[in-house]
Amino acid sequence: MLEIKNLHVQLEDEDKQILKGVNLTVGAGQVHAIMGPNGSGKSTLSYVLSGKSGYEVTDGTAILDDVDLLDLDPEERAAAGLFLAFQYPVEIPGVGNMTFLRTAVNSQRKARGEDEMSAGDFLKFIREKAKSLKIDADMLKRPVNVGFSGGEKKRNEILQMAMLEPKMCILDETDSGLDVDAMKLVAEGVNALRSEGRSFLVITHYQRLLDHIKPDVVHIMADGRIIKSGGPELALEVENNGYADLLAEVA
């Protein structure tokens, strides 16, 4: 599904290397987790995959089902099936959440040569998805993320993911700042989307999210590289001992 090879990234404005050769392959239907200390480059990886400007890829590739992501505009990557649940969802005053979602869904359909969704079908679809995430009508009407609590923003990300039905979902610290109930809701939202044709890359600091979203593989990222990969037990190890031992191992 997603194959990242030898990815090197530096800042565009500054001579600072952030990703120093990331290798990562996520198979179809799999859930991979990435853990790692703050500043190790996890968000940068998710941004570079999604096409945010300000970063320069100096080496390496990222392929999503035969599509070379790094050559595409962000909207083309989205249409190719990539989705990023932002660590810090952006507030957009004046753009209604519902308008935003309908525009997004229909833009992607158009880009893929599919028919746009009718207003009626869209409403039915969004109501059903919103309900399972406990997102009320008011949140759909309000401007995108404006005045949303931290938890509401994260649930709104999952709603977008559910509506857009991507193949490859990246979740960047979707659990941070959530209480246990909100986290369960988010995890249920994610689990409801799990399928053979859909893969997840879950960036998190905490084992507890992984109790709910069971990963197939756990990677540890440090200083711009994946320094260790393993099964779910690796997350437990981090939870119990922190990163110090792992960092020492590779040093």
SS3 166: coil
Q: Nearer Cβ to ligand ADP, position 11 or 250?
A: 11
To the nearest 10°, the Cα dihedral for 141, 144, 145, 148? Answer: -10
How many residues touch another protein under the rule CB under 8 A: the total is: 32
Tell me: does residue 79 bind another protein (CB under 8 A). yes
Q: Is 141 in the site for another protein (CB under 8 A)?
A: no
Helix (H) or strand (E) holding 10: strand 2-11
Interface residue list for ligand ADP (CB under 6 A): 11, 18, 36, 38-44, 54
Per partner kind, with CB cut-offs from 5 to 8 A, the member of ligand ADP, Mg ion, another protein, none near residue 242 is none
Give me 181's structure tokens.
């109930």
104 binds, among another protein, Mg ion, ligand ADP, none (CB under 5 to 8 A by kind): another protein
Residue 75: contacted member of another protein, ligand ADP, Mg ion, none (CB under 5 to 8 Å, by partner type):
another protein
| Residue 128 to residue 214: CA distance in whole angstroms | 25
From the list ligand ADP, Mg ion, another protein, none, pick the one residue 90 interacts with, judged by a Cβ distance below 5 to 8 Å according to partner type: another protein
Environment class of 64 (CB within 10 Å of its CB; exposed 0-12, middle 13-18, buried 19+): buried
Residue 150 within binding range of another protein, rule CB under 8 A: no
Q: Which residue has 């109790």 as its token pair? A: 211
Cα 197 from Cα 203, distance rounded (Å): 20
156 versus 207: smaller Cβ distance to another protein? 156
